[in-house]
Amino acid sequence: MSICAYMDMQVRKWFPQSMSQRTPLPTDAALELIAARFRVLGEPSRLKLIRALESGEKPVNELMTATGLTQANTSRHLQTLTHAGILGRRREGLNVIYVIADPSIFELCEHVCGSMQRHAATQAKVIGG
């Protein structure tokens, strides 16, 4: 699935009535939501946390160990990812357990990484002659 198809799918989820008639571009409000999602993912520490959760749910202390982040930074980034709907959380005694709430995030990351690999390969061909 291309990033544009992914974005279109997300926009339809956010604005199902307004997107029922096929429009050439998402509304300004939808574009703002899309940009906000990319801003959330624009922080390397948050990507580390997402990657650490790829293998399954984890408590905060395991996420700190896996990412090398401090407790304060881990908590701040987990809160942002949870507020964005990318992560979910639940309490288990004194522990807070985090889990990926939107598994399509991995598909999006794969698209971005694939695009970067193709771009790097093209650059290498140009440089290499």
Grouping H, G, I as helix, E, B as strand and the rest as coil, residue 50 is helix
How far is residue 4's CA from residue 6's CA, in Å, rounded to a whole number? 5
For 45-82, write each residue's pLDDT tens digit: 999 999 999 999 999 999 999 999 999 999 999 999 99
Pick the CATH number of 3-19+28-128 from 1.10.357.10, 1.10.10.10, 1.10.3480.10, 3.90.1150.10: 1.10.10.10
- Please state the separation of Cα 45 from the chain's center in Å: 12
Residue 96 near residue 53 (C-beta atoms within 8 A):
no
Domain edges within the chain: 3-19+28-128
pTM: 0.73
